[in-house]
Amino acid sequence: MEEKLRQEDVNIVKIVLFGPESTGKTTLSRQLARHYNTVWVPEYARTYLQKKWNETRKTCENKDLVPIGIGQIKSENELAKKADKLLVCDTDLLETCVYSQAYYDGYVEQTLQEAALKNTYDLYFLTYIDTPWEADDLRDRPNEREKMFSLFEKALIKHNRPYILLKGNKKERLEQAITAIDNILSQRPNLNIFSADLIDFDLHFLHQNADHNFGLD
């Protein structure tokens, strides 16, 4: 199991969009991938949990978190091989751990926690709760946004993860993120470069071989 939760070594910059549900992570992931002509890693949890809800009318359970983590890392490792210098991740295992802590009385499965702390990223963008709440089948804590945001920020601080807080409208957030990423890229001249039209990949392809279909934009 540990192997399935482990990042593969690749010579690219990896950034993570990190924060509570409905704070614009997916929107910004798409924008950044298009700006840098690279790929982004969607939240595997959303596909997994939407499928579960559609089929059983059940929401996330503790037993779902490790399969979600495995699916997330599998997608990340596959897409990292297609990335052009930069990989944009719409979540990571640490985010899954934060949700586990929030929803299951502080419990986090040890293997998931260990993998979350071993996997590394160059920068986290912590998305603030100044975006409108958008309800859907999976989002369920519109009245606890400040509490959830605090949990996310505390996790980054506790585990010494480099992060930048993003606030403002879509344009302002995108500009802040681009400035930060450009600074990192300028310090890493020998990154892997791939030539292909990477942006319009089929999201269905990412999940068509998955055995299972949490964290939300």
Question: Mean pLDDT throughout 166-188?
Answer: 96
Q: Is the pTM of this model over 0.75?
A: yes
Task: Tell me the pLDDT of the chain averaged across its residues.
Answer: 87
Residues with Cβ within 8 Å of 16's Cβ and at least 6 positions away in sequence, in order, are 89, 91, 92, 95, 121, 123, 124, 125
Q: Where are the alpha helices (DSSP H) in the chain?
A: 25-35, 44-56, 65-80, 93-103, 110-118, 145-158, 170-186, 203-207
Give domain limits for the chain. 3-189
State how far the Cα of 203 lies from the Cα of 59, in Å rounded to an integer.
Answer: 23
- How far is C-alpha 65 from the geometric centre of its chain's CA atoms? 14
Residue 45 in contact with residue 96, Cβ under 8 Å? Answer: yes
User: Model confidence over 105-145: pLDDT tens digits?
Assistant: 999 999 999 999 999 999 999 999 999 877 655 556 677 89
* Angle between helices 65-80 and 93-103 in degrees, nearest 10: 160
Tokens (6 digits) for 85: 């210098």
> What's the pLDDT tens digit per position in 143-160?
789 999 999 999 999 999
CATH topology assigned to domain 3-189: Rossmann fold (3.40.50)
145: closest CA among 20, 31, 30? Answer: 20
